[in-house]
Amino acid sequence: MRPDIPTDHTSEAERLLRTAAQYPEDREPLLLQAAAHLELAGARDRATGLYDDLLAGAPDHPHLVKALKAANLWEYGHEAEARAIIEGLRIAEPLEPAPWEIVAETLEAHDELEAAHDSYTTALNLLLTPGEEVPYSAGSLLLGRHRLRRLLGLEHDDWDALGDQVNKTTVPLDELHDPKRIWALGSDNPAELQAEIARLRAELGSYRSALSRPFPVAVLHWPAAELTELLTAYPGLRTEYPSRETHLAQLESALRELASTGTPNLGIVTGTVPSYEAFAASENTSPSDPNLLPQYATTLAARGRATSWPPARNAACWCGSGETYRECHGAG
């Protein structure tokens, strides 16, 4: 167990619930973390209660909350309700990867392999366009589908080839996802054992890389009304934000530059003036100090407020225009 993961999940859940009461703007990510700890503690009915509380309050990510609720319900005997939620999610066709991944993994965990495969495929057809860049958050869909297809003994297709391209380990996916790998652990052939050790090391390296970046490298976005209020209250920040259009263009440009240098796990956090002022007070700094802005963005990301960038090409653009990313800031 990693040293930063508490062994008393119930106590950690209670701590997170108290924190959520103190910081209502961070309520959703904190309650999701609390629900996860309650599940690990075996208090799945309490976890379901937290999911219901979130859904009653119009959460930022309702499809994610519903997927987590379905996975939890199925684990403690409420299969029919879980299936109904999953079917509703499939009909809704969310344009974000996380709900689809949770649904597919839940179905696979209960031996619904064909349905899990269909969920992965539906998600990829919705979210990705062949030949275009794969968002960081969607890469796990490709890898999960590839692994499942190897388990089902299916021939490679174009999505499998794309999965090979996003694979960051030194071992090909066909080796990592070989259903017969478990046999190698019982082999008395030194060469087979050594090959399996190499594959396990590659997987461990990938997991460590993911754990080393617990939250995205995030860029700060101000919605139109918030930006107007910010600049009215602190006109000195106009040098940072000459106009709304410039702010949006610079944000997209900064993220593309980070992506071009190979920085993974990029995201966008949305600022509000009250939250920013409270953060400035906690830092004993004036909100008019532009050096505070990146610190504020990092803090929001650490609190789970980041939205993964880039969005799927067919998903809504991060700027809130109502257009798809492909037709808005993802154009060109």
Any idea what the CATH number is for the domain that residue 90 is in?
Answer: 1.25.40.10
- Which ranges constitute the DSSP H helices of the chain? 9-22, 27-40, 44-56, 62-75, 79-92, 97-109, 113-127, 139-152, 158-166, 173-176, 181-185, 190-211, 224-233, 244-260, 273-282, 292-302
If one compares 134 and 197, the residue with the highest pLDDT of the two is 134
Place of tokens 């800031």: 329
Read out DSSP for 194-260? HHHHHHHHHHHHHHHHHHT--S-EEEEE--HHHHHHHHHH-GGGGGT-S-HHHHHHHHHHHHHHHHH
Same-domain check for residues 195 and 281:
no
Same domain, residue pair 204 and 278: no
* 153 and 301 inside one domain: no
Which structural domain range is residue 246 located in? 217-309
- Residue 207, in any domain of the structure: yes
Are residues 34 and 163 located together in one domain of the fold?
Answer: yes
In a domain, 83, yes or no: yes
Whole-number Å distance between alpha carbons of 48 and 274: 31
Q: Which residue has the higher pLDDT, 321 or 1?
A: 321
Q: Is residue 26 part of a domain?
A: yes
Phi, psi of 188 (to 5 degrees): -105, 10
Query: Residue 18's CB: how many other CB atoms inside 10 A?
Result: 11
pLDDT higher than threshold 90 for residue 117: yes
332 lies in some domain? no
Q: Residues 122, 257: one domain?
A: no
Q: Using CA atoms, how far apart are residues 218 and 234, in angstroms rounded to an integer?
A: 23
Single out the residue in 211, 240, 257 at which a domain terminates.
Answer: 211
Last residue of a domain, one of 156, 177, 211: 211
Region 147-173 average pLDDT: 88
Q: Please indicate, yes or no, whether residues 98 and 158 belong to a single structural domain of this protein.
A: yes
CB atoms within 10 A of CB 122: 15
Q: Do 175 and 236 belong together in one domain?
A: no
Amino acid, res. 324:
T
- 48, 155: one domain: yes
Q: Which amino acid is at 6?
A: P
Q: Are strands 266-270 and 217-221 parallel, antiparallel or unpaired?
A: parallel
> Average pLDDT in the 231-240 region?
94
Indicate whether 27 belongs to any domain: yes
| 58 lies in some domain | yes
* Residue 197, in any domain of the structure: yes
* pLDDT tens digits for range 10-61: 999 999 999 889 888 888 989 999 999 999 999 999 999 999 999 998 888 9
| Of the candidates 272, 300, 113, 276, the residue with the CA atom closest to the CA atom of residue 216 | 300
Pairwise CA distance, residues 36 & 322, whole Å: 32
Domain boundary residue among 161, 176, 211? 211
Claim to verify: residue 32 and residue 174 sit in the same structural domain: yes
Judge if 196 and 269 occupy the same domain.
Answer: no
Distance (Å, whole) CA 24 – CA 213: 25
The answer, yes or no, to whether residue 158 has pLDDT greater than 80, is: yes
Mark whether 161 and 195 lie in a shared domain. Answer: yes
Q: In this predicted structure, what is the pLDDT of residue 118?
A: 96
Q: Residue 278 contacts by C-beta under 8 Å, 6 or more apart in sequence? A: none
- Residue 330 in domain: no
What average pLDDT does the structure give for the chain? 86
How far is Cα of residue 274 from the mean position of the Cα atoms in its chain?
Answer: 26
pLDDT the model gives residue 1: 33
Contact 116, 139 (CB under 8 A): no
Helix (H, G, I), strand (E, B), or coil: what is residue 121?
helix
Residue 305 DSSP code: -
Q: Residue 163, CB half-sphere, CA atoms under 13 Å: how many?
A: 25
Tokens of 112: 């619904």
pLDDT at 156 over 70: yes
Pairing of strands 307-309, 266-270: antiparallel
The pLDDT score that the predictor gives to residue 307 is 85
Residues near 291 by beta carbon (within 8 Å), at least 6 away in sequence: none
Residue 149 has pLDDT above 80, yes or no: yes
Q: What is the pLDDT of residues 175-198, one digit of tens each?
A: 878 777 655 555 566 766 566 667
Same domain, 110 and 179: yes
- What is the distance of C-alpha 216 from the center of its chain? 9
Indicate if the pLDDT at residue 216 is higher than 60.
yes
Domain count, the chain: 2
